[in-house]
Amino acid sequence: MMFYRKAQRNRKPSYQSHTDAANAASDNGGKPPISAGLADNLAYLRQELGDSPDMIVRTFEIGGNRIPAGAVYMDGITDKDMVNEYILKSLMIEAGEAMNPDEKPDILAYLKANALTIGEVHLLKDWDCIILSVLSGDTVIFLDGSPEAISGNTKGGEQRTITEPSTQVVIRGPKDGFTESIGTNVSLVRRRIKSSSVRLEPFKIGQTTKTNVAVMYIQGKAEDHVVQLLRERLSGIQIEALTGSELLEELIQDQKKSPFSTLINTERPDTVANHLLDGRIAIFVDGTPFNLIAPTTFLMNFLSTEDYYTRPEAVAAIIIVRYAALIISLFAPSIYIAAITFHQEMIPTPLLLSLASQRESVPFPAFIEALIMEFTFEILREAGIRMPRAIGQAVSIVGALVLGQAAVEAGIISSAMVIVVAITGISSFANPSYNMALSIRLIRFFLMVAAALFGFYGIAIFSIILISHMCSLSSFGVPYMTIKTPSVPEAERKTLFGIPLTKEKTKPQPAPDSGGSGAGGNDQAQPASAPSNLLNESGSS
Amino acid sequence: MTKKQAISPTQLFSMMILFEFGTALVLPIGLGSGANAWLSILLAMPGAMILYVLFTYFEKQFPSMILSGYTQKIIGVYLGWPVSFLYILFFIYISARNLREAGDLLISASYDQTPIAVVQAIMITAVIYVLCKGINAFFRLGEIYFLIIVSIGILSHAAILASGTLDLRNLLPVMGKGWMTTLKNAYPNIFMFPFGELVCFTTVLPYLKQKQLSKKTGLLAILASSLMLSLTHAMEVAVVGGDVYSRATFPLFTVITIVDVAEFMQRLDSFVILALIIGVFFKMTVYAFAAASVANDLFRFKEHSLIAYPVGIIIFLVSIILAWSVPEHNAEGFTVLYVVLPVFCLIIPVLLFIVHLFRKRFGHST
């Protein structure tokens, strides 16, 4: 994965120069202007797209004076019903009936204004726009005799429907998850925050992929300088292809060299809505259900969506459990190694005796033993992800029996080590953030080396270095290790170390719009029009 | 690295407490004050506060200037520059002493087979790393470790209380050797170590975000740290008795090995070692930071973080060649306590203050 990305980056400069050259060429007339002849235009478009079989060209005639016209769209990414009903039908039948035959010069504008019964229509004047438009799923209409084209938004085609998110499951809470379509994702969030101060800013990133990226925030809640910083970073990105939010995350984070990711991602629209209400910014990337939230602090990684739907007392307790799990998954093997190798005097005598008798038959030092087991566990985990479900059980049996019990009986490892590795592995799954769990998996091995070399002293010094590294990180100017509620000046949800102290967002929020109940779901005094909104909502969904 | 360098009062408070704890938490302090060390600490506290007020006075008179800056302003560049340079040496030397002490204690505690140079090298690596990350990261780190050390403290104290080894009669007689002995231990011994060492913070105060809070924060930190230090040392005496307390290499370690709560919490030694590592780390890093910032100020380096490497390496080398053995190191400690610390922590600042007052009143300088 990593070197794949590297390769991508290395390719970038050459590509960039190539496109720059192309742009320069188009400025100098490299791409011809749109000609007035329909046949020329269609032929040129065919040639540009390499005579692709999924490009559909439909030629027809409009009106009484039979102006030749052509509609172009890509098969599969357009909504065919829409093309047939609102473009072809309205142009071929309805436009002809109503049209005045004398109005030839303005005919495109006339069609745009009177004939195309479709929501989003643009007048296009150069080939780049036209090609991008066709490739995004629009239908482009050429007319004989006019050097312009009209595009109608007919984006559609097969898409995954909204399903329950697979990675961030909650017991109690909404069950809808993001899909791969940016439009759907934005709408899922919009439905939750019916506020006029929600802002959405579009970006196109990737010279080849032209991926749609959208930034969403609530004006008046998100801090302006953070939004501005994000805008600058997004528009400064020079990259060939953007295929998911992971790459974008890497490109826009403050410090590139770090095992920690300073942006969290989520598959849940309600999480995004909650973060927006807390003054953070969501970054949607087309083609992935994982959207980014900025700015992120370390403690935010330990919040699960479920926390918003649970009683604060319970959440406080659960979050403490999560912190404990973090510490266990990070330190358990290294502390075991340190205690066995350097600090035997710190283990209570009966336990020490038992450990010593277990380890008597083990031929390896504790560090090697831990390394073998941890590595095996990582292999099991990695295999478990890719394995077909049907044989998953078989592997878990092999893992549990062969690697656990049998390895102990064969005297390769001690049974205490199995316990340590098991508790470490299980603890790492208690972390709500997969990104964080990954970083911890990585750091754990360095800690084990430090423990093997210098015992507790090594662990302590490595921790100091680790935490100071985390302290030096920031996410869009917000310190990563801040203890306060991340980035929210007027946060209503008082938290201490991420543990919520109050639940209700009682005070009216600074955002000027009404309601603002969000996904948190505490209904406040709604304006009189709210009930009808709610009815509409339930009717449409 | 962040461009804006600013620390919050909470961070300053945390760092001052960690700095005060340093080795003072683990070592017997006040050299021979014995059972009444806890009282001497409390007695030394007012002096420490007055000294700190002096530092904040300079800070107010010369805003956004560190020690070397106003030294040169007050007594002129030709005299001030060498004095400031001496401060670099002083900071490096004390930092090296701290490193050496940490090395010795760790070796005697559980790393008897590891060469001391290796132990020190590991520590100095962390110091250099943190210094390179800049003051923001360093003070945020302090905030986090303050929480850690306070939790360790609460847990250890609770364990000592629960173990039932506490005997308050050990604290008696209060001031058995009379007022003078206790007072002598407070001034200059405890007044200088650890309180006088706050002179390091003259290089930190200009970074504080809310300048008006520097005095209040510092005084609170001194109050809190002296109360906690006093409590800890009183606890140590109450558990092992004044006699053992004054003879032990590091009494807290001795105390904690006695603790046995319900045959479960038996080995809290690691807590003490951890507290020691954390304390020493922060103390020597604050010293190294002070040395680095004075050096940056004197030599006007452009890249501020690079100075961390030479400063760190010099501290490391000095700590190795400092003394051949622990007794030699301790003997040198007397000189430090009675000569070096008073000169740099008390005499020079007070002289500066007097000169400054004179110049303000009688001089026609701006």
Q: Which of B110, B269, B274 sits opposite A460 (nearest CB)?
A: B274
Which of A235-249, B230-244, B311-325 has the largest mean confidence? B311-325
Say whether B141 and A479 touch across the interface (CB within 8 A): no
pLDDT for res A528 = 37
Mean pLDDT within B282-288: 94
Say whether A455 and B111 touch across the interface (CB within 8 A): yes
pLDDT for res A520 = 38
Mean pLDDT within B175-189: 79
Say whether B141 and A467 touch across the interface (CB within 8 A): yes
Q: How far apart are CA A331 and CA B155, in angstroms?
A: 19
Distance to chain B for A464, nearest Cα, Å: 7
pLDDT for res B26 = 78
Q: How confident is the model at residue B264 (pLDDT cuts 50, 70, 90)?
A: low
Would you say residue B47 has pLDDT above 70?
yes
What single-letter amino acid sits at B323? A
pLDDT for res B278 = 92
pLDDT > 90: percent of chain A: 17
Say whether A464 and B270 touch across the interface (CB within 8 A): no
Q: How far apart are CA A416 and CA A408, in angstroms?
A: 9
Q: How far apart are CA A440 and CA A436, in angstroms?
A: 6
pLDDT for res A228 = 92
pLDDT for res B273 = 82
- Chain A residue with Cα closest to B107: A457
The verdict on whether omega for the bond into residue B188 sits within 30 degrees of 0, i.e. cis, is yes
Say whether B144 and A343 touch across the interface (CB within 8 A): no
Q: Which of B133, B143, B263 sits opposite A472 (nearest CB)?
A: B133
pLDDT > 70: percent of chain A: 81
Helix/strand/coil for B289 = helix
B106 contacts on A by Cβ (under 8 Å):
457
Is the distance from CB of A370 to CB of A448 less than 8 angstroms? yes
CA atoms within 13 A on the CB side of A296: 27
Mean pLDDT within A203-217: 90
Tell me, yes or no, if B266 comes closer than 8 A to chain A by beta carbon: yes
B27 or A39, which is more confident: A39
| Cα→Cα distances B328→B117, B120, B156, Å | 17, 18, 32
Convert the pLDDT of each residue in A290-331 to its tens digit: 999 988 888 888 888 787 777 777 888 888 899 899 999 999
Burial label for A6, CB within 10 Å (0-12, 13-18, 19+), is: exposed
Convert the pLDDT of each residue in A353-365 to its tens digit: 888 888 888 888 8
A457 contacts on B by Cβ (under 8 Å):
106, 111, 119, 122, 273, 277
Say whether B277 and A343 touch across the interface (CB within 8 A): no
Which residues lie closer than 8 Å to B202 by C-beta, 6 or more apart? B55, B58, B59, B66, B67, B290
Say whether B277 and A460 touch across the interface (CB within 8 A): yes
Mean pLDDT within B117-129: 93
**Both tokens assigned to A60:** 């027809």
Which residues lie closer than 8 Å to A110 by C-beta, 6 or more apart? A99, A103
Q: What is the pTM assigned to this prediction?
A: 0.84
Average pLDDT, rounded, for chain A: 78
Q: Which of A346, A348, A469 sits opposite B270 (nearest CB)?
A: A346
Q: How far apart are CA A43 and CA A226, in angstroms?
A: 47
Q: How confident is the model at residue B114 (pLDDT cuts 50, 70, 90)?
A: confident
Tell me, yes or no, if A469 comes closer than 8 A to chain B by beta carbon: yes
Tell me, yes or no, if A472 comes closer than 8 A to chain B by beta carbon: yes
Would you say residue B91 has pLDDT above 90?
yes
Q: Which of B129, B136, B274 sits opposite A456 (nearest CB)?
A: B274
How many beta-carbon pairs under 8 angstroms link A with B?
85
Distance to chain B for A519, nearest Cα, Å: 33
pLDDT > 90: percent of chain B: 42
Helix/strand/coil for A278 = coil
Would you say residue A492 has pLDDT above 50?
no
DSSP A171: S
Convert the pLDDT of each residue in A219-228 to its tens digit: 988 888 899 9
Q: What angle do CA A420, A421, A427 make, to 5 degrees?
A: 90
Helix/strand/coil for A211 = strand
Helix/strand/coil for A72 = strand
Helix/strand/coil for B210 = coil
Q: How confident is the model at residue A102 (pLDDT cuts 50, 70, 90)?
A: low
Would you say residue A104 has pLDDT above 60?
no
Distance to chain B for A317, nearest Cα, Å: 18
Mean pLDDT within A460-464: 94
Domain spans of chain B, in order of start: 9-359
Q: How far apart are CA A120 and CA A140, in angstroms?
A: 12
pLDDT for res A10 = 42
pLDDT for res A15 = 38
Would you say residue A479 has pLDDT above 50?
yes
Tell me, yes or no, if B241 comes closer than 8 A to chain A by beta carbon: no
Is the distance from CB of B217 to CB of B55 less than 8 angstroms? no
SS3 track for A104-148: CCCHHHHHHHHHCCCCCEEEECCHHHHHHHHHCCCEEEEECCCCC
Domain spans of chain A, in order of start: 33-152, 182-308, 311-475
Closest CA to A424 of A443, A442, A438, A444: A444
- Chain B residue with Cα closest to A255: B1
Tell me, yes or no, if A324 comes closer than 8 A to chain B by beta carbon: no
Instruction: Give me the residue label for tokens 């925030």.
Output: A217
A215 or A156, which is more confident: A215
Q: At A341, give phi and psi (nearest 5°).
A: -85, -40
Convert the pLDDT of each residue in B214-229 to its tens digit: 899 999 999 999 999 9
Say whether B122 and A460 touch across the interface (CB within 8 A): no
Distance to chain B for A420, nearest Cα, Å: 19
Instruction: Give me the residue label for tokens 């292999």.
Output: A379
B13 or B327, which is more confident: B13
Tell me, yes or no, if B209 comes closer than 8 A to chain A by beta carbon: no
H/E stretch holding A15 reads: helix A2-27
Convert the pLDDT of each residue in A397-450 to its tens digit: 777 777 778 888 888 888 888 889 889 988 988 888 888 888 998 999 999 999
Say whether A343 and B270 touch across the interface (CB within 8 A): yes
CATH superfamily ID and name for B9-359: Amino acid/polyamine transporter I (1.20.1740.10)
Tell me, yes or no, if B320 comes closer than 8 A to chain A by beta carbon: no
Instruction: Give me the residue label for tokens 């800049």.
Output: B134
